[in-house]
Amino acid sequence: MSDAKKDPLPLAAQLTKGTDSVDLHEFAGGIAQEMATLPQIRVGKKWYTTAQILTVLIPLGFVAGL
């Protein structure tokens, strides 16, 4: 118990440096990469991205603030 208090990271001495490259075929178990998408909000049957909503709300908020 006293050894753990002396060295807060006892496993740090056992760590080794990994490789500097990532094998994309092994990364994430071979799951295909996909581009990220913005969150969407559904109003009725139509979907709106947050970018579409912000492009309307920001100017409206600016005009309302004047």
Domain boundaries, the chain: 37-66
Tokens of 19: 């490789």
CB 39 within 8 A of CB 49: yes
Residue 46 pLDDT > 90, yes or no?
Answer: yes
Q: How far apart are CA 32 and CA 24, in angstroms?
A: 9
pLDDT at 45: 95
Question: Is it the case that residue 43 has pLDDT exceeding 70?
Answer: yes
Token code pair at residue 8: 């807060």
Which long-range CB contacts under 8 A does 51-58 form with residues at least 24 apart? none
pTM equals: 0.41
Q: Which residues contact 38 (CB under 8 A, 6 or more apart)?
A: 49, 50, 51
